[in-house]
Amino acid sequence: MQSLFAGRGDLEDDLRMLTSIDAKFIGRSLCLWGGEAGLLGHLEKAKQQVLVAAKADPEMLFEACIFEIVTTRIEQVAVPDWAFVALGQPVENRSFRYADMLYPDGRGVDQWGAGSSVPDVSRLETKLYFYFLGRSFIDAGFEAIHYGQVEIMNGNDPDLTHWSQVFTLARTYAATHARRHMLLCNAHVPHGGLVRDGHLLLDFHAFPPRIMEVPDAPQEAILKVGFSDGIYNRSRGGIAPSGWTCDQLPYLVEFDNYGVSKQPGQAKADGGQFNWVWGYDEITWFALQNKEYRADWLRYAWRWVRTTDRNGYLEMPGSRQVTTGHAGLQGSDAAKPYSRRRPWYHANNPSDAVPDGTGDEETIRAIWSADSA
């Protein structure tokens, strides 16, 4: 439910849908990519909305996100005293320092555009910022944090000392202050997970499903073990943060959003050098299919993941950014809502509150109900 608490969608109808399908883990419900200048406002609004959402179903658990991005706008956010104290640093009256979060050798600098870079988790300023975010999310009622592409932030953290510190600080605070005195940490792990001295650093793993287009069947796509860097049968095991041991840590695969190619709608777009599905990212490809195919594909994907790797689960798409990008799309009935004006996918039943709803909530409820039975 990307940006459930950041104004993407109708909160009342979203909560109606979530309780109707009996969803419990609400992924990416606060999902902010850069834009740090508005961070405090988003946090305050989210805190009030989480209270409303928790009343709708007290069992629901909401996830916020810390991503592999920091921008110059972070310098508009003051470092709270408690962040310095948690990191064992003298308290200063200042804002966060963008330059002090970046890789000293220039790696990842301006990777997301001018003044928008990949932070280096080994740097003290980055850890100050990540602790600030984690504690702020916990105080707002979130009980899970997705840490994005952790492996592109640990180039100077070969033994995972710094990531371990980041997670430990957040979990320690959650043990006293979180609603259920715990925090679930996860991240995208293309190499199967973060393991330090036999201990898993994450509570569960996450990764895109890596959907493979079928070139001789226009718009069709499948899942396949060994395609791209898919996580199937590769999730690493060890001693989990809560003390239990596993050979492979459970994981979620989620429809990812990352843009559109220069050849939308075509197989092997841009020379096949990127994980495009018929020229689109995963969620956009899915959203552009007709309702019947989407329903069939969700049923197929759920069964395929569960039977291929008993540690894997398909994370259902509820709300997610899509990127059509180009005019002249040969759309199905489902493609029509995804204009440049409002590039967003909603699984909700269509209504006055959510006119762009796809109606996929019925399929999701049926899949989960059948699986539980």
Give 174-208 pLDDT, tens digit per residue.
Answer: 999 999 999 999 999 999 999 999 999 999 999 99
Strand (E) or helix (H) holding 152: none
Amino acid symbol at 76: Q
pLDDT at 372 over 60: yes
Q: What is the mean pLDDT of residues 216-242?
A: 97
Comparing CA positions, the residue from 305, 325, 116, 336 lying closest to residue 223 is: 305
Position 217, amino acid: A
Residue type, 268: K
Mean pLDDT of 25-51: 95
Please calculate the CA angle 295-61-4 and round it to the nearest 5 degrees: 65
Position 28: which residue type?
Answer: R
The H or E element that residue 363 is part of is: helix 361-372
Name the percent of the chain lying above pLDDT 90. Answer: 92
Contact 130, 121 (CB under 8 A): yes
Q: How confident is the model at residue 325 (pLDDT cuts 50, 70, 90)?
A: low
Element (H, E) at 371: helix 361-372
**Is 185 within 8 Å of 145 (Cβ atoms)?**
yes
Give pLDDT, residue 342.
52
DSSP 251-263: EEEE-----B-SS
pLDDT score of 340 more than 50: no
pLDDT of residue 273: 85
Backbone φ and ψ of 63, nearest 5°:
-110, 135
Q: Band of the pLDDT at 326, cuts 50, 70, 90?
A: very low
Q: Return the residue matching tokens 């990764």.
A: 207
Q: Does the pLDDT value for residue 93 go beyond 80?
A: yes
Instruction: With a cut of 90, say whether residue 77 has pLDDT above it.
Output: yes
Grade residue 331 by pLDDT with cuts at 50, 70 and 90: very low
Contacts of 168 (CB under 8 A, 6+ apart): none
As given in the structure block, the two tokens for residue 67 are: 């991503």
Q: Residues 28-43: what's their mean pLDDT?
A: 94
**Helices 291-308, 361-372: inter-axial angle, 10-degree rounding:** 30
Q: What is the separation of C-alpha 249 from the centre of its chain, rounded to a whole number of angstroms? A: 18
Q: Which one-letter amino acid corresponds to residue 319?
A: S
Please provide the average confidence, as pLDDT, over all residues in the chain.
94
Between helices 11-21 and 39-56, what is the axis angle to 10°? 40
The total of other beta-carbon atoms located within 10 Å of residue 309's CB is 20
pLDDT of 338 higher than 80: no
Give the separation between CA 98 and CA 235, rounded to whole angstroms: 34
Does residue 339 have a pLDDT over 70? no
List the alpha helices (DSSP H) in the chain: 11-21, 39-56, 81-86, 124-139, 161-177, 282-287, 291-308, 361-372
Instruction: Please state, in angstroms and rounded to a whole number, the distance separating the CA atoms of residues 185 and 170.
Output: 9
**Percent of the chain clearing pLDDT 70 (strictly above):** 95
Place of tokens 């916020």: 64
pLDDT digits (tens, 9 = 90+) for 264-276: 999 999 998 899 9
Per-residue model confidence as pLDDT tens digits over 130-142: 999 999 999 999 9
Contact 167, 201 (CB under 8 A): yes
Phi, psi of 72, rounded to the nearest 5 degrees: -60, -20
Q: pLDDT at position 324, please?
A: 81
